[in-house]
């Protein structure tokens, strides 16, 4: 998806807002298919044809934090950056994990969190199997998950406030970050909060128009729409059948 996106977009300035290479995962299980190389090549090609590319390492690619001030084939590595939009707004560009108290205060805790999550999924599978065998009391995973979501929502809003606070103290008009996998463009008080989201689940990026306005690009949603239009134009009978089914369902409802 990212490769496809890069193939259809160009910019004078490109910021890679961290966690581009998941070192934590690579250390556990090395996985580097050709498409990963293709993404790197696509970025290097852009750097060579005149885009300025700034890479701000995140916590998952923190080993690159010892390369601040250097560049790889024209891709500059920086701790953070300052971006001024065409309409004159000054943004602090940062990955954002330094504001995530769990990651800052206890790195081992964050790693544990990652492993614990995988373990919880595994455990849930086995618990449910055991419950079926012995007819044990019902434990609602969905209730538990909802509770987690509530906590996640309050974490996200707390995180957004902390980052906006940081921008405000630094005298910036806004902040551009990533880290929490939650794309968002909004105003909190007088400060613009911009989170670019991710390319793991949501496939989002933030673009700046010629007038300096920032907009969220939901590449997954755009691709879905494109496919729908292509299917409709091609007169694919399977697609038409599905569409009819959806229409009937809507009418019935």
Q: Which is nearer to Mn ion, 97 or 208 (CB)?
A: 97
What whole-number distance in Å separates Cα of residue 76 and Cα of residue 57?
Answer: 11
Six-digit token pair at 8? Answer: 């259809």
Q: Tell me if 139 sits within 8 A of 199, measured CB to CB.
A: no
Residue 19 engages Mn ion in binding (rule: CB under 5 A) = yes
C-beta of 103: minimal distance to Mn ion in Å? 7
Q: Restricting to residues 166-185, name those near Mn ion by CB under 5 A.
A: 179
Q: For residue 161, what are the contacts with CB-CB under 8 A and spacing of at least 6?
A: 188
Backbone phi and psi for residue 243, each to the nearest 5 degrees, phi listed first: -65, -40
Q: Restricting to residues 82-101, name those near Mn ion by CB under 5 A.
A: 97
In this structure, how many other beta carbons lie within 10 angstroms of the beta carbon of residue 2? 17
Backbone phi and psi for residue 183, each to the nearest 5 degrees, phi listed first: -65, 140
C-beta of 74: minimal distance to Mn ion in Å? 24
Q: Which is nearer to Mn ion, 62 or 173 (CB)?
A: 62
C-beta of 203: minimal distance to Mn ion in Å? 17
Helix axes 219-234, 237-252, angle to 10 degrees: 110
Which residue matches tokens 């009391």? 137
Q: Which is nearer to Mn ion, 97 or 166 (CB)?
A: 97
Q: Restricting to residues 182-241, name those near Mn ion by CB under 5 A.
A: none
- DSSP state string for 77-124: E-S-EEEE-TT--EEEE---GGG-HHHHH-HHHHHHHHHHHHHHHHHH
Residues, the chain, total? 253
Q: Restricting to residues 120-159, name those near Mn ion by CB under 5 A.
A: none
Exactly one of 6, 14, 56, 59 binds Mn ion (CB under 5 A); that residue is: 59
C-beta of 100: minimal distance to Mn ion in Å? 7
C-beta of 18: minimal distance to Mn ion in Å? 6
Q: Which is nearer to Mn ion, 83 or 179 (CB)?
A: 179
Question: Which span sits near Mn ion by CB under 5 A: 12-20, 121-129, 135-143, 144-152?
Answer: 12-20
Question: Which span sits near Mn ion by CB under 5 A: 16-24, 157-165, 200-208, 243-251?
Answer: 16-24
Task: Count the site residues for Mn ion by CB under 5 A.
Answer: 5
Residues that bind Mn ion (CB under 5 A): 19, 58-59, 97, 179
């Amino acid at each position: 998806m990212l490769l496809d996106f890069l193939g259809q977009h160009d910019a004078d300035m490109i910021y890679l807002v961290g966690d581009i290479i998941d070192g934590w995962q690579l250390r556990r299980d090395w996985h580097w298919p050709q498409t990963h190389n293709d993404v790197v090549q696509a970025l290097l090609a852009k750097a060579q044809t005149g885009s300025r590319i700034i890479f701000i390492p995140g916590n998952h690619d923190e080993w690159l934090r010892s390369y601040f001030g250097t560049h790889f084939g024209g891709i500059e590595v920086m701790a953070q950056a300052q971006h001024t939009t065409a309409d004159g707004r000054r943004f602090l560009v940062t990955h954002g994990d330094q504001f995530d108290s769990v990651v800052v205060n206890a790195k081992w805790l964050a790693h544990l969190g990652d492993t614990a999550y995988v373990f919880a999924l595994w455990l849930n599978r086995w618990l449910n199997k055991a419950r079926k065998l012995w007819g044990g009391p019902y434990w609602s995973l969905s209730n538990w998950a909802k509770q987690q979501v509530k906590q996640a929502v309050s974490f996200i809003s707390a995180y957004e406030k902390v980052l906006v606070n940081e921008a405000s103290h630094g005298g910036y008009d806004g902040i551009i970050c990533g880290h929490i996998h939650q794309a968002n463009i909004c105003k909190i008080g007088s400060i613009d909060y911009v989170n670019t989201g991710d390319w793991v689940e949501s496939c989002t990026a933030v673009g700046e128009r010629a007038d300096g306005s920032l907009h969220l690009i939901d590449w997954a949603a755009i691709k879905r729409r494109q496919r729908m239009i292509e299917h409709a134009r091609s007169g694919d009978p399977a697609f038409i059948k599905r569409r009819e089914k959806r229409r009937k369902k809507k009418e019935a409802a």
